[in-house]
Amino acid sequence: MSRTSNRADGDIVQDFLSVADLLEEPQLAQLYAYLAREGEAIVQNVMDDLEIVQGTAYSYVNRLVDAGVVNIIDDEQPRRYAAREIDLTVTMAARDREYTITPALIDAVGRRETDADIDTYIDRHSVAGLATALTYAIARERGRVTHRLMAEDLDISPMAAEMILQVLRPVVHEHYEIDESGAGLNELDIDGDG
C-alpha cells in the first residue's frame, strides 16, 4: 500500500481502514459521495436528498466523522459537514496491480445498492475490478479506448465491458472534466459492425 501524501504510517493505516469501511458499506459510500458532491451539508439535507430517516442519517454522519473521512465544518446548530478528500493508492501484491481509491470510486460503490449492474460487477470482479473499470470508463469518455479494448485487456466479454462502462458513465461525468467532443455512444462500435 502506498499513499500520495507524506503522513505518518499510523495515519495511513487509519485512512485505509476508514476507506475500507466505505467500500464495504454502500450506504456509507453513498453518503460520503453526496457530501463530496455537495461540498457541505446539514443532516436535514442528507435526509431530504438521500431519503434517509433521521436516526439513520445522524448515525451514518457520525460514523463518517468518527472514521475521519467527514469533517464538521460548523459547530453551530445545525452542524455543517463536508467530505474530506480521499486519494489513497493501494497495491495488490498478489496481482501486482495498483488502484487508487477516490471519491469517484466511492461514489460508484455507493450506487451498488440501487444499481444491480454495479452490484453484479463487484461480486464478480471485486472493488479492485470496479476501480479498474472506472479507469477504463474515464479513458472511454475521453475517447481513448473502446469497450472491446477493455474487454480484451481484462479478459471479460465485450458485453460485460460495455455494460459497466455505460453504468459508470454518470459517475465519470460527475467527478471528472470530460470534453464533450470525446467518444459518444453513437460513435462507438458496440455491435461490432463498424
User: Which domain CATH number covers 37?
Assistant: 1.10.10.10
Residues 72 and 130 occupy one common structural domain: no
The grid cell for 148 is 472491446
By the 10 Å C-beta count (0-12 exposed, 13-18 middle, 19+ buried), 30 is classed as: buried
- pLDDT digit string (tens) for the chain, length 194 residues: 333 444 454 565 666 667 777 888 888 989 999 999 899 999 999 999 999 999 999 999 999 998 888 999 988 899 999 998 887 777 665 556 677 788 899 999 999 989 999 999 999 998 889 999 999 999 999 999 999 999 999 999 999 999 999 999 999 999 888 876 544 444 444 444 44
In a domain, 95, yes or no: no
**3 state SS for 120-188:** HHHHHHHHHHHHHHHHHHHHHHCCCCCHHHHHHHHCCCHHHHHHHHHHHHHHHHHHCCCCCCCCCHHHC
Residues 169 and 126 occupy one common structural domain: yes
Q: Which residues pair with 101 in a beta bridge?
A: 88
Give the whole-angstrom CA distance, residue 127 versus residue 142: 23
Q: What is the pLDDT of residue 85?
A: 85
Taking the mean position of all CA atoms in its chain, how far away is CA 47?
A: 21
Q: For the chain, what is the total number of helices (H) and then of strands (E)?
A: 8, 5
Indicate the residue among 35, 64, 83 that finishes a domain. 83
Indicate the residue among 40, 59, 83 that finishes a domain. 83
**Cα-flanking dihedrals φ and ψ of residue 77, to 5°?**
-85, 135
Give the whole-angstrom CA distance, residue 181 versus residue 187: 11
Residue-range definition of the domain harbouring residue 161: 115-187
Residues 26 and 77 occupy one common structural domain: yes
Residues 119 and 74 occupy one common structural domain: no
- Span between the terminal Cα atoms of the chain, in Å: 42
In a domain, 180, yes or no: yes
Give the whole-angstrom CA distance, residue 37 versus residue 44: 16
Residues 135 and 181 occupy one common structural domain: yes
Taking the mean position of all CA atoms in its chain, how far away is CA 168?
A: 9
Nearest to 107 by CA among 177, 23, 51, 165: 23
Residues 77 and 122 occupy one common structural domain: no
Sheet with 97-101: strands ordered across? 2-3, 88-92, 97-101
Residues 66 and 138 occupy one common structural domain: no
Q: How many residues does the chain have?
A: 194
Indicate the residue among 61, 83, 105 that finishes a domain. 83
Domain count, the chain: 2
Residues 70 and 128 occupy one common structural domain: no
In a domain, 143, yes or no: yes
